[in-house]
Structure 1
Amino acid sequence: MTITSTRRIGAWLAPPVVLVAVLLGVAALVALVAPSRVTDGVYQVHVDGILITTESLSCHRAGESATCVVPVGGRDLEMTVVWPDPGSCTASHGGREVPCMAVLGDYGHASPTVLIDDGLGLSEADRAGWQDAVPWWRTSDGPLIAGAVLVGLLVAASAVATRLLGGGAGLGRWRVAAVGTGLLGLAQLGAIGVVTAAVSPWTLVLAPPSLVAATAVGVWQWSAAGPNGGRWGRVVLAASATAVYAAVAVFVLLLQSGFID
């Protein structure tokens, strides 16, 4: 394959492949552990400063009622919550009733968080064990750090790819390619709402940040597929467009999936 052909392929495919395909794949992976997808009972339990996440719970939901059980301190902690009144909660620990309250997150959570203001007789070793059992994606900073790293990697990848493949292929339909890439970028942002089951995709597509992000990748495609220009200028444009689009997409993903609450 000639260098010119490679550049033409890169000019057509670089923005959609790097941004849309990768970020949509990330959204699908995030949906596997997203708070917005936890609908079978309780999302998490706060026990006197200790966090017990959904991964440790055994839950069963029947209609508007859900019961979850988890061994805590050698005894079963059993909780029952009722929808649509998330504040309705009863709990017992080894047969002893304990006070509890169930609340829904401000945004994105599909199952309530149970608050138990009782130490349940946990030792320091028990507390340390529960702290170690919290997956990194359930920590307060884990998803944000992962999102920032992802944006940085995508920016670096787009800059390197643009430098290697070149651009300015002078394709006859470069204007169509630019508009099509912008629309594809909007569709990907809308798809986040579908994948995370949080909101209607149109809510995301018509949001001002989404329109700005889609315009950025459209301009990048215009530079890649349009008339020749300075290579380093295209590298800077590719990195900048990726930074804008990826940052918006990651923020929307974390927000809609319930990680930012």
Structure 2
Amino acid sequence: MVDQTAAQTVSVIGLGAMGTALAKALLAGGHQVTVWNRTRERAEALVADGAKVAAGPAEAMAAADLVILCVLDDAAVREHLEPAAAHVRGRVVVNLTTTTPEQARSLGRWAAVNEVTLIDGGIMAVPEMIGGPAAFVLYSGAAAAFDRYRAVLESFGRAEFVGEDLGASAMYDVAILGGMYAMFAAFAQGGAMVRTTGGSAARLAELMAPFLQAMATTLAAQAPGIDTPADFVPTQSNEFTAAAIDLIDKSAVESGTPTELYGALRRALTGL
């Protein structure tokens, strides 16, 4: 059993802005960190903070019990991990590279064949937030390994385990990001609309942000409508919602800024 309060040996593969932030958080937590990056200068920049630089990804993986990957994409994960299979056998690998749910599951099948314990993760933060109170990371996969290394993973921010399906963290990740981009799209459209009345997007932001924050608190109340729809009684009918969105869409047309956004929202929210 790993002592969660003790320093652990951890390797970080990939030192872009996010990977560097992860490595620095681990070093700040007192862990023994080995790093590797394709551009060696980025790795050497961490030596002053106490990191050891490996000559290659396989050497880095062999140096630690816990291996963290934060690289460009799934192809890069495979490029670094698969040739080093013998070096990670019996170890725990945490993949914090952004991938699709099925890519995470596929890597899990490779890991099972090669006796690697795999945890997939989705980082809900920008590099500057890592280690701070607002950062959190989603994890899925090997629950026992997550519990074993949870204290180490919390060096990055709040650690949220969302299920043993390796695709779960990626799915929660893209679902949350989808909400963010939908909000950004609605703000961009709204900004264009209010400008036709002499207003500004800056003023809209002042008014919209607190309203959206208040509306976000109602998500938990809406969740049963998705999880257990047969037992859910909505506070607002689909017909009412459709009519409200139609009015918004008509206003966009009248303003000379027509968009397909509201039609998509109408279909997604009401099915009408």
TM interval, shorter chain, is under 0.3
TM-score normalized with structure 1 length: 0.25
TM-score normalized with structure 2 length: 0.24
Q: Which structure has the higher relative contact order (CA within 8 Å, separation 6+)?
A: 1
